[in-house]
Amino acid sequence: MAKTVTTIPATKNVFTTAPIASLAKRRVAGYARVSTDSDEQFTSYEAQVDYYTQYIQSHADWSFVKVYTDEGISAVTTRHRDGFNEMVDDALAGRIDLIVTKSVSRFARNTVDSLTTIRKLKDHGVECFFEKENIWTFDGKGELLITIMSSLAQEESRSISENVTWGHRKRMADGKVSIAYSSFLGYDRGEDGGLVINPQEAETVRLIYRSFMDGMTPIGICHMLEKKGILTPMKKKRWSESTVLSILTNEKYKGDALLQKTFTVDFLTKKHKVNEGEVPQFYVEGNHDAIIPPSEFDKVQAELARRKSIGRGYSGGSIFASRLICGDCGGFYGQKVWHSNDPYRKVIWRCNRKYGKGEKCGTPTLTEEAIKALFLKAYNLLMADRESIAEDCRVMADLLGDTAALDEKIDTTQKEIDEVVALNNAHIRTYAATGADKAAFEQKAAEYDARFRKAESRLAKLKADRDEHLARSRMIEGFIDEMLNAPLVLTEWQDQLWNTLVQKAVISADGTVAFTFKGEKTITVRVE
């Protein structure tokens, strides 16, 4: 008996499950994107929107939904593309059957993002059409072609990113400074594109520096600025500690510019990282007019380093905070008030452990008047021999500023690190090629890792030592300038001289107070 075969035609779309014979129109959306905000590209943007509106409406079997757009946004990642993400959400919600766009590169230059999105849309019965490549994602060859085209687009994006990065670094190497003026306090963009001082904002910058050197903490400065109604660089009312610290440490306020403080780690994610020596930096001296004199800027950096070494012990509540030290225990003197609610009220300073648990310190209690009188005595003794002291300080500053020996050790250690990395990489390649004993491989890899970590730790210590030496050198140089320009004889207390000249005062149980000035010169006087 002869067999017969009857073909039963398909009645539903394999992806949408909609009846094939259905006369319902496909709901179609367009997607347009341009990556820059130039006039030329803006025209292209408008043209794309108009084109896809008319293109979709010209098909009788299509129903126009809308054209989703992203203007001035990179296609490397879909994370921050609001128009794109809205389109995908609408498609997954069943509002779109077909998405039309110019090309794969318009859709995404990231292969993973492109394929992930297309597969997600396909699972929900939504097709994509890439006009330039003539690719339909429901076509059997669609995914292969998209993979190839997305990979090419991703490589193109990498090449563009490298070219842009090279251009930025070339401008940096040429000393060309570029900043975000809209969020930078104190400067405006000049006619030539350079930095021009904004007088009003510059006064705010000077106030921040002056307040810091008067003993205020960054948090205290924030509160002060808010009370005065002064806006942040972003024109906000609320100041943050990080904003104040960034102003206090930005070399641009002394007329210089350090370029490439950060760099892009991955062109796909656009992740930025603080430059810790991975890529070159460029320091431009005298690039523009300074708001803060370089000597004052260096004093602030030295004071920041001093407070950092103190840690949380610094309160900033008084000009004497964290500068009076007990000679017995090494702890700080703290401020106390006697008779706070009667006419005999007196502010005194004593060791914070004087009446604590355990052995009590024998160092004396001092009034603010006594501290000020002792400082005047030490100051006048210092100034009586200031020329000789200045010469000694210059010698010390030069010695500290000569970091040639440390630089040599840093270079040697860096070469050691590079060598260990190269050996480890060669070890990995050998293992991958030969399939040697796994235990032996892991043991050798652990040895390389231990050597690397040890050398890396040593390198960090050497760099910290170099930075400390340079900071001390700058502090001493600042002290010399301050001392030589200060009054030869002081008869009345001045907050500024205390803040700019004194590093610490150690109070001993025998009634002596050793004032260590920022030039690392110590003058000892006795409590009367």
| pLDDT band for position 21 (cuts 50, 70, 90) | very low
Q: Is 314 within a domain?
A: no
Last residue of one domain, picked from the residues 134, 162, 190: 162
In this predicted structure, the answer to whether residue 263 has a pLDDT above a threshold of 70 is: no
Pairing of strands 257-259, 195-197: unpaired
Question: What's the pLDDT at 176?
Answer: 57
| pLDDT band for position 150 (cuts 50, 70, 90) | low
Angle (CA) 172 177 179, round 5° = 125
Note the pLDDT tens digit of each residue in 389-432: 999 999 999 999 999 999 999 999 999 988 988 888 888 888 77
Q: How many residues does the chain have?
A: 528
In this predicted structure, the answer to whether residue 163 has a pLDDT above a threshold of 70 is: no
- Say what percent of the chain tops pLDDT 90: 25
Are 448 and 420 in contact by the 8 Å Cβ rule? The answer is: yes
Structural domain range at position 429: 324-526
CA distance 248 to 258: 15
Are 250 and 141 in contact by the 8 Å Cβ rule? The answer is: no
Query: Does 201 lie in the same domain as 52?
Result: no
Query: Does 35 lie in the same domain as 98?
Result: yes
Domain count, the chain: 3
The residue whose two tokens read 């993979």 is 147
Return the minimum-mean-pLDDT range out of 77-91, 310-324, 499-513. Answer: 310-324
Burial of 479 (0-12, 13-18, 19+ CB in 10 A): buried
The order of strands in the sheet holding 366-367 is 333-338, 346-351, 366-367
Question: What's the pLDDT at 285?
Answer: 78
Average pLDDT rounded to a whole number, residues 194-207: 89
Last residue of one domain, picked from the residues 131, 162, 193: 162
CA distance 332 to 347: 16
Question: What's the pLDDT at 8?
Answer: 63
CA distances from 89 to 6, 27, 93, 432 (A): 42, 15, 6, 44
Question: What's the pLDDT at 277?
Answer: 59
Query: Does 151 lie in the same domain as 188?
Result: no
More confident residue, 486 or 155: 486
- pTM assigned to the model: 0.52
Are 319 and 498 in contact by the 8 Å Cβ rule? The answer is: yes
In this predicted structure, the answer to whether residue 312 has a pLDDT above a threshold of 80 is: no
CATH code, domain carrying 231: 3.90.1750.20
- Both tokens of 407, joined, read 């630089």
Query: Does 189 lie in the same domain as 143?
Result: no
Query: Does 146 lie in the same domain as 250?
Result: no
Last residue of one domain, picked from the residues 117, 135, 162: 162
In 289-368, DSSP assigns E strands to: 324-326, 333-338, 346-351, 366-367
Query: Does 158 lie in the same domain as 185?
Result: no
In this predicted structure, the answer to whether residue 211 has a pLDDT above a threshold of 60 is: yes
How is 327-349 classified by DSSP, letter by letter?
TTT-PBEEEEEESTTSTT-EEEE
Question: What's the pLDDT at 39?
Answer: 45
Instruction: Report which secondary-structure segment, H or E, holds 524.
Output: strand 522-526
Query: Does 477 lie in the same domain as 351?
Result: yes
Question: What's the pLDDT at 514?
Answer: 95
